[in-house]
Amino acid sequence: MLSEYNKYLEYISDELCLEGVSLKELAEELGTPLYVYSASYIRDRLRAYRQAFPEALICYAVKANFNPHIIALAKEGGAGADIVSGGELYASLRVGIEPSKIVYAGVGKTLKELEYAINSDILMFNVESFMELDVLDYIAGKLGKKVRVAIRVNPDVDPKTHPYISTGMKKSKFGVDIKTARKEYDYARKLKNLRVVGIHCHIGSQILDVSPYIEAAQKVVELYYELLKDGFEIEYLDLGGGLGIKYKPEQSNPEPSDLAEAILPVVKGVKAKLILEPGRSVVGNGGILLTQVQFLKDKGHKHFVIVDAGMNDLVRPAMYEAYHHIVPVERKERSYIKTDVVGPICETGDFLALDREIPAVEKGEYLAVLSAGAYGFAMASHYNLRPRACEVLVDKGSYRVIREREDYEYILR
């Protein structure tokens, strides 16, 4: 059922529509590959977070989709921003997100980025190492500022997701070991241009079972009380993002309310403000990638549907062997074929689906690749000198281009 991905996605007179806008008409008008996002869907998701966590600060993880019009929807939905680069800070400020709602994580923040963020007076730096504490203190001193920091701790919880997107385990490059985090806290407290105000953790992404969150929250709360006992004034508990979404037809995903049910009892009694950093669960199923069938190729033992979207447009299948559901934009009686759906790039890893049963499609038809709103365009590249796709936002029956298709000159500039 497509509505389980996104209730605004439906066939109307056998044509796939998003918020009532015909995807075939969009593809014909604007060309393919084309990213299409649903504004109502994104608003609904932000509302779901707000209702599940009325007291918390929701910081939309800009990395999932950095289009300014998407960040603006997050802002209108009351969210702040979770950023990981100067670019994401720039985009967030540009759409008017208040600096007092911006948190900044990342293992490799540069001097320039730190300076920019200090001067912007963001809410909190989620610091990931001793050296970063030193550098941050040094720059803050030079700028005559006092900055708020949290230490990003690694609770060593297995989020049961793809290893490339597990971040809270001991062996990962992120954060500091929660068991020894007191060292970083004691060190940070001595630095005179820093004010230690928070604990941060983020255990991974595409998490479909809320139990790892409970475990992580318990460990963080334990640390919180230890720090209080030691005289720290912890004002923020930032539990990161990571809630998973439905990619496969048989999957179902936890809702923000399920996450609330899991973690609110654990943080009950904690005086600090809760922060969450959802990305994928806000925009993932709000977007699809439209692509056109270029050729069909039958090698006897193997069948290929060759489309005009490649790994440069959507790298998740190539990078994580991620599953993205694919449906034809036109609904009609068809047989099924077993096929690879592949792009035009000069790599064997350039596929959108492998050995997949899909309705038999014809040359020239449009296909919708679902669940492409998060880490889709955001991870797109120019590989093979391919211009990045156009992005469109549909909103209650109308649409607007929110990023034009690039041309060759733009890439070569």
Instruction: Please tell me whether residue 241 binds ligand LLP under the rule CB under 6 A.
Output: yes
Question: 63 or 356: whose CB is closer to ligand LLP?
Answer: 63
Shortest distance, CB of residue 42 to ligand LLP, whole angstroms? 13
316 contributes a contact to ligand LLP by CB under 6 A: yes
* CA distance linking residue 378 with residue 325, whole number of Å: 19
183: helix, coil or strand? helix
For residue 112 the two structure tokens come to 């320039």
Among 23, 61, 234, 309, binds ligand LLP (CB under 6 A): 61
Name the residue among 385, 407, 392, 360 with its Cα closest to residue 28: 392
> Least CB distance from residue 269 to ligand LLP, whole Å?
25
Q: Is 109 in the site for ligand LLP (CB under 6 A)?
A: no
202 forms part of the interface with ligand LLP (CB under 6 A): yes
The one-character DSSP state at 336 is E
Residue position matching structure tokens 């939309």: 60
By the rule CB under 6 A, 64 interacts with ligand LLP:
yes
Q: Which of 48, 43, 54, 47 is nearest to 264 (CA)?
A: 54
CA distance 168 to 152: 10
**How many angstroms separate the CA atoms of 185 and 130, rounded?**
10
Taking the least distance from each CB to ligand LLP, the nearer of 165 and 266 is 165
**Looking at 155, 278, 286, 343, which residue binds ligand LLP (CB under 6 A)?**
278
Would you list the DSSP string of 349-382? T-EEEEEEEEE---TT-EEEE-S-SSSSGGG---
From 7-15, 201-209, 223-231, 400-408, give the range in contact with ligand LLP by CB under 6 A: 201-209
- Minimal CA–CA distance to 178: which of 139, 210, 223, 221? 223
Query: Given the rule CB under 6 A, which of 94-102, 184-192, 240-248, 336-344 is the region that contacts ligand LLP?
Result: 240-248
Encoded one letter per residue, x for contact with ligand LLP by CB under 6 A and - for no contact, window 352-381 reads: ----------------------xx------
198 binds ligand LLP (CB under 6 A): no
Q: Which residue, 290 or 374, has its beta carbon nearer to ligand LLP?
A: 374
Q: Which is nearer to ligand LLP, 105 or 210 (CB)?
A: 105
Which one of 48-56, 66-74, 91-99, 235-243 is the stretch in contact with ligand LLP (CB under 6 A)? 235-243
SS3 213: helix
Q: Does 82 bind ligand LLP (CB under 6 A)?
A: yes
The 10 Å Cβ neighbour count of residue 277 is: 27
- Among 17, 201, 346, 390, the one annotated catalytic: 346
Active site residue 346: yes
Radius of gyration over every alpha carbon of the chain, rounded to an integer in angstroms: 22
Residues in Cβ contact with 61 at an 8 Å cutoff, skipping those fewer than 6 apart:
81, 82, 241, 277, 278, 279, 280, 282
* Interaction of residue 165 with ligand LLP, rule CB under 6 A: yes
Q: With CB under 6 A as the contact rule, which of the stretches 56-64, 72-80, 135-143, 331-339 interacts with ligand LLP?
A: 56-64
Asked whether position 240 contacts ligand LLP by CB under 6 A, the answer is yes
- DSSP 8-state assignment for residue 12: E
The residue among 365, 353, 363, 361 whose CA lies nearest residue 336 is 361
Distance between CA 201 and CA 126 in Å, rounded? 9
The DSSP-derived string for 108-129 is T--HHHHHHHHHTT-SEEEE-S
Q: How many residues bind ligand LLP (CB under 6 A)?
A: 23
| Cα–Cα distance, 279 to 8 (Å, whole number) | 20
Please report whether residue 38 would count as binding ligand LLP according to CB under 6 A.
Answer: no
Selected range binding ligand LLP among 227-235, 278-286, 362-370, 383-391, rule: CB under 6 A: 278-286
Contacting residues toward ligand LLP, per CB under 6 A: 61, 63-64, 82, 105, 165, 167, 202, 205-206, 240-243, 277-281, 316, 320, 374-375
User: Active-site residue numbers?
Assistant: 346
